[in-house]
Amino acid sequence: MQPKHRRTMRDQLDKTFAQLRSLKELQPPLKGWLRSVREALGMSGQQLGKRLEVSQPRIVQMEKDELSGALTLKSVRQAAEAMDCVFVYAVVPRVSLEETIRQQARIVAAKRLSRTAHTMLLEDQTVSIDEQRKMLEDKMEDLVRNLPRDLWSDKV
């Protein structure tokens, strides 16, 4: 994918994520979503099981599996549908995608420039602090603009 298309996709996703930011603070009910909604509807495990065409013990197991994280997305979706609910799934970044890329680009740029600075030092060449900052910013902007394949090779 071309860099300008990636940037457009990033911008569009960041706009969507801005609407979802409040969901990051949302905590599931202690009993889990499935059991809480089922109980709020006044629906028994047996009744939900009948709607899903599974046994009541399977409903109990599904509700336990939700709490442990072992329930599949497909099963959650089916249970939600059986309770006339919509299952919503999202991966919401802690900060914008743009900021995540900028943070990584800064790390990579600093590593690359530190190798260059070491070589220059060995050759008895020095660069002022202002020039170093400018070089870092330029390298970082270049990485953000071009998104090289190895940008994410180093762990943050």
In a domain, 111, yes or no: yes
Which residues are within 8 A (CB) of 137 and not within 5 positions of it... i.e. 6 or more apart? none
Q: What's the pLDDT at 3? A: 74
- Containing domain of residue 65, as a range? 3-82
Residue 135 lies in a domain: yes
Residue 30 pLDDT > 90? yes
Judge if 64 and 111 occupy the same domain. no
Average pLDDT over residues 96-110: 94
CATH number for the domain that contains residue 57: 1.10.260
Residues 7 and 73 in one domain: yes
Backbone angles phi, psi at 26, to 5 degrees: -70, 125
Whether 97 contacts 10, CB under 8 Å: yes
Helix (H/G/I), strand (E/B), else coil: 121: helix
Of 11 and 115, more confident: 11
The model carries a pTM of: 0.75
For 81, the 3-state DSSP assignment is helix
In eight-state DSSP terms, residue 53 is T
Q: Is 88 domain-assigned?
A: no
Of all residues in the chain, the percent with pLDDT exceeding 90 is 67
Judge if 14 and 55 occupy the same domain.
yes
Q: Is residue 115 part of a domain?
A: yes
What average pLDDT does range 113-136 have in this prediction?
Answer: 72
Segment 73-82 mean pLDDT:
98
107 and 69 in a single domain? The answer is: no
What are 67-76's pLDDT values in tens digits?
999 999 999 9
